[in-house]
């Protein structure tokens, strides 16, 4: 049913475009579909603006949820995501007096006793906390993350109020299926409000990804950290979506995009421990002046998703099927992940590609501007089906979808989206994850050896294909191809 709906929508759009092109004297406003579409967009925009105003007025938890919605670029109508994105830069700021109060209550000392200097203007302010640059008595420069003083007390009341409002809206509009937002807030907010948990997450991911020498995670200073105050090593750099900054500082945009993909493929497919807030303010890049090496700095470790083994394996196999355009397995593993008959829509949501591109193979061609517009437009047209899907899939999927959209937004800003290398890295991680799982379940030495040999062969094939792509795009490769063509013509 969903597949037929997607196909009909695409055909209708194409037919409308052809007719308008052929009839140059026809006013587009004469078409009912154009008028209805404009009206729907206006309703979405007004609703989004009111929602943004509500978030700004209530602050705290409301801004956090609004930011979450604003990150779902390919899942919600553009009117909502565009309007709610500003919440990242309109987060509340605590006063100096409020900051002093939190530090006094949690650390038992005044700011001047702890620090040689403490900058009044925060480096950044978010929905739950803000960060200040400071210098300790021993000369170490640190970043001090301080929770807004009223957030803890108000969070449970805000979640209850949000739940009541969503239940009322659902009674009026039965298709409105956003109760998952409240469920996620109930589960994640207490963890995000505990800065000691954030510190533990930071240390865990630093240890987990220690083999990536391009990754930097700020060190935690536990002796001056509490549930509401977190002291970290100070690190600075340009935001990961700032292409101009990278070009100015001689940082290879493609390398950064490729390395970011490696980090997240490793977290999602191999480890099942995923940093779920990679908006540009939390991912910085910097080039070391001595070595010339570019680093990725990962900040804000409050929100992580832990994936169960069964979910992670199904998700691995689904992505393998999507990359290979194996539609039978796409259907099988989408259904196992709760998509049901809406599996075509689910595949489009995961990949942010059209159903036609999914069938053809998402690694076969880059995303075109027209396809990107089509996907965003479909987010409004299929909002009831999308909300139904979000309500049906495992809760673990929700933060992954948000993470996917944030990463795609970074790739779009850098113009590196859907590159072949990103799919190769994903394939490597999926192969390693599935092979490790199969070995752990096997009691036969022969079977384990067979799995390891198959894994090595598959990884070798990927390396060979990557070498081919590199040669194809390099001067040496072009010279070899030209030489072979001349040899072929001469014979």
Domain ranges of the chain: 1-90, 92-156+165-235, 261-278+304-437, 442-490
pTM over 0.85: no
CB atoms within 10 A of CB 370: 10
Q: Is residue 289 a contact partner of residue 303, using CB atoms and an 8 Å limit? A: no
| Residue 287 β-bridge partners | 294
What 3-state class would DSSP assign to 296? Answer: strand
* Residue appearing with tokens 């007004």: 46
**Choice between 276 and 91, residue whose per-residue pLDDT is larger:** 276
Question: What pLDDT was estimated at residue 335?
Answer: 96
Q: Is residue 313 a contact partner of residue 434, using CB atoms and an 8 Å limit? A: yes
| Residue 274 β-bridge partners | 305
User: What angle do helix axes 179-192 and 151-172 make, rounded to 10 degrees?
Assistant: 170
Question: What pLDDT was estimated at residue 21?
Answer: 36
Q: Averaging pLDDT over each range in 3-12, 302-311, 347-356, 418-427, which range is the top one?
A: 302-311
Q: Across residues 410-422, what is the average pLDDT?
A: 77
Catalytic pick among 73, 194, 277, 314: 277
CB atoms within 10 A of CB 461: 12
Examine the residue annotation and report whether 106 is marked as an active-site residue of this protein. no
Q: Is the dihedral of CA 177, 180, 182, 185 positive or negative?
A: negative
> What are 172-225's pLDDT values in tens digits?
556 666 677 778 778 888 899 999 999 999 999 999 999 999 999 999 999 999
CATH numeric code, 92-156+165-235: 3.30.200
């Amino acid at each position: 049913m969903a597949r037929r709906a997607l196909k009909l929508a695409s055909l209708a759009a194409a037919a409308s475009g052809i007719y308008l092109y052929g009839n140059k004297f026809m006013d587009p406003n004469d078409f009912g579909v154009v008028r209805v579409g404009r009206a729907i967009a206006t309703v979405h925009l007004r609703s989004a603006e009111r929602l943004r105003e509500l978030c700004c007025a209530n602050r705290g938890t409301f801004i956090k949820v609004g930011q979450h919605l604003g990150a779902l670029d390919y899942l919600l109508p553009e009117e909502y995501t565009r309007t709610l994105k500003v919440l990242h830069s309109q987060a509340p700021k605590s006063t100096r007096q409020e900051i002093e109060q939190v530090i006094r209550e949690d650390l038992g000392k005044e700011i001047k006793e702890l620090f040689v200097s403490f900058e009044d203007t925060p480096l950044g302010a978010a929905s739950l906390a803000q960060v200040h640059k400071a210098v300790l008595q021993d000369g170490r420069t640190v970043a001090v993350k301080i929770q807004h003083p009223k957030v803890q007390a108000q969070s449970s009341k805000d979640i209850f109020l949000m739940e009541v409002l969503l239940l009322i809206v659902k009674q009026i509009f039965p298709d409105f299926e956003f109760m998952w937002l409240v469920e996620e807030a109930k589960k994640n907010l207490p963890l995000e409000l505990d800065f000691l948990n954030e510190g533990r997450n930071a240390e865990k991911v630093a240890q987990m990804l220690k083999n990536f020498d391009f990754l930097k995670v700020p060190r935690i200073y536990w002796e001056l950290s509490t549930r509401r105050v977190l002291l970290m090593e100070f690190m600075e750099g340009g935001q990961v979506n700032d292409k101009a900054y990278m070009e100015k500082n001689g940082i290879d945009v493609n390398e950064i995009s490729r390395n970011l993909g490696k980090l997240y493929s490793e977290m999602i497919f191999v480890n099942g421990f995923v940093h779920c807030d990679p908006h540009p303010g939390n991912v910085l890049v910097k080039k070391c002046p001595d070595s010339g090496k570019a680093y990725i700095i990962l900040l804000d470790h409050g929100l992580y998703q832990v994936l169960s083994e069964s979910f992670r394996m199904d998700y691995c196999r689904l992505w393998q099927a999507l990359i290979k355009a194996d539609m039978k397995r796409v259907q099988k593993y989408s259904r196992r992940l709760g998509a049901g008959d809406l599996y075509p829509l689910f595949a489009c949501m995961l990949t942010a590609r059209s159903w036609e591109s999914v069938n053809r193979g998402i690694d076969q061609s880059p995303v075109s501007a027209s396809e990107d517009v089509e996907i965003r437009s479909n987010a409004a047209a299929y909002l009831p089906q999308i909300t139904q899907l979000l309500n049906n899939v495992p809760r673990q999927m929700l933060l992954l979808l948000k993470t996917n959209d944030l990463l795609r937004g970074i790739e779009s800003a850098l113009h590196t989206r859907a590159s072949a290398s990103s799919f190769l890295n994903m394939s490597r991680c999926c192969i390693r994850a599935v092979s490790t799982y199969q070995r752990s379940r096997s009691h036969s030495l022969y079977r384990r050896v067979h799995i390891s040999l198959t894994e090595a062969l598959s990884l070798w094939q990927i390396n060979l294909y990557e070498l081919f792509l590199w040669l194809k795009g390099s001067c040496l490769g072009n010279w070899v191809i030209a030489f072979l063509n001349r040899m072929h013509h001469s014979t």
